[in-house]
Amino acid sequence: MIYTFGIDIGGTNIKIGLFEIYDFKLVEKVEISTPREHQMYSIFDEISKKIENMMHKHGFSYNDIHGVGFAIPCPVKDGYVETCPNLSWSKIDVVRKAKSFLPDHIKVVVSNDANIAAYGENYSLDTPFQNAIFYTLGTGVGGGIIVNGQIVEGRTGSGGEIGHMQVFEGTDICGCGKTGCLEQVCGTKAILNYATELSHKYSSNIDFSNLTVKSVFDAAQNDDIIGQLVLNRVAKYIALSTSILAVSLDPDIIIIGGGVARAGEILIKNIEKYFKHYARFGTIDIPFVLAKTGNDAGIIGAARYTLQ
C-alpha cells in the first residue's frame, strides 16, 4: 500500500493523519502538543519522530510514502512563510525544511490552514467541485477559495482572508488594524457582545451568566427575540460577503464551517434568505452546505493536497 500524511500545525497542537491513498482511507490520527521552544526546528523534529513512529507501528517504510502535506496557521506562498506569529516563525521555507528529513521522492505541499481546510471540505463532499468557497466561523472568520481545483493563495499568500472583507462602516479596530471587517460581526466575540448589548433592550430566555454561541443560536431556534436578531445579523453579513465573492468568482458551491456553523440548518437557511436578496445574475442559485469534516478538515485537506 502507498500512504500519504496530512499534518495540521496549530499554535497549541499538531494533528497528524495517515491515509492510504487508493481509497483515501484514514489509517490513524494522532495529536501532539506543539513545542514551545525553538519552534523553527523543534516542530519539524517532533513531526519527523512521529512519522517514523507511525511507519514502524503500521509496518511500512519511507518507500511507501507518496507525500506529506502541511496546513500552516498563517499566509503561505509557494511553501514560503514570511512571518507566522502563532508559531514564532519568520522567513522559513517550509517545503525545504520538511524535505530535510524526508527522502527526495516524497512530495511535500504546504498552504494556509484555512485554504487547506477548504480543500479538505470540498473533497469530502459526495461530489467535489472545481470551484468552491469555504467559510470557517469561529473566534475569527477565515476561509479558503478553490478555483479550477486549485487553492488560491494569491500574490502574497493572503488569498482567502475572507474574514477581513469590509462589509460595514465602523470605527472599532479589527485585529488586522482596519475597520468594518466581517470578523467583527460574525466572529464569536462579536456574536456574544451583540447578544449582551441586546439584553439591555429585550427580555430573553438566554442565560447570560453562561453565555455561549450555542446558547444564542439555540434560543433563536426557540423564537427568542435576541437569538433571532443575532442570527439574522450573522446571516446577513455572511450573505453580503458571499454575494460579493459570488460575482467575482462564480463558485459551484459555498461551504460554511467552524464552531459557529454548529447552529446548523437554521444558519444556512437564513444565509440563503439574505443571499437571494444580495445576489446578482445567475449566482443567486449557488447552493450553501454545512461543512462535515469538523476538526479533521486540516489533515484531510493537507493529505488530499499531496494528490493533486
The CA-atom distances, in angstroms, between 130 and each of 106, 122, 123, 154, 263 are 26, 9, 10, 17, 27
Contacts by 170-178, CB closer than 8 A, 24 or more apart: 175/140
Do 279 and 246 touch, CB atoms closer than 8 A? yes
pLDDT of residue 41: 83
The one-digit pLDDT tens for each residue of the chain (308 residues) are 999 999 999 888 999 999 999 999 999 999 999 988 888 888 999 999 999 999 999 999 999 999 999 999 888 999 999 888 778 888 999 999 999 999 999 999 999 999 999 999 999 999 999 999 999 998 889 899 999 999 999 988 888 889 999 999 989 998 888 999 999 999 999 999 999 999 999 999 999 999 999 999 999 999 999 999 999 999 999 999 999 999 999 999 999 998 888 788 899 999 999 999 999 999 999 999 999 988 899 999 999 999 98
Contact by Cβ (8 Å): 2, 66? yes
User: Computed from CA positions of residues 203, 206, 212, 217, in that sequence, does the dihedral angle turn out positive or negative?
Assistant: negative
What's the confidence (pLDDT) of residue 263? 81
User: What's residue 277's pLDDT?
Assistant: 95
Phi, psi of 83 (to 5 degrees): -155, 145
Can you give the pLDDT at residue 151?
93
Domains of the chain, CATH where assigned: 3-122 (3.30.420.40), 127-292 (3.30.420.40)
CA 65 remoteness from chain centre: 26
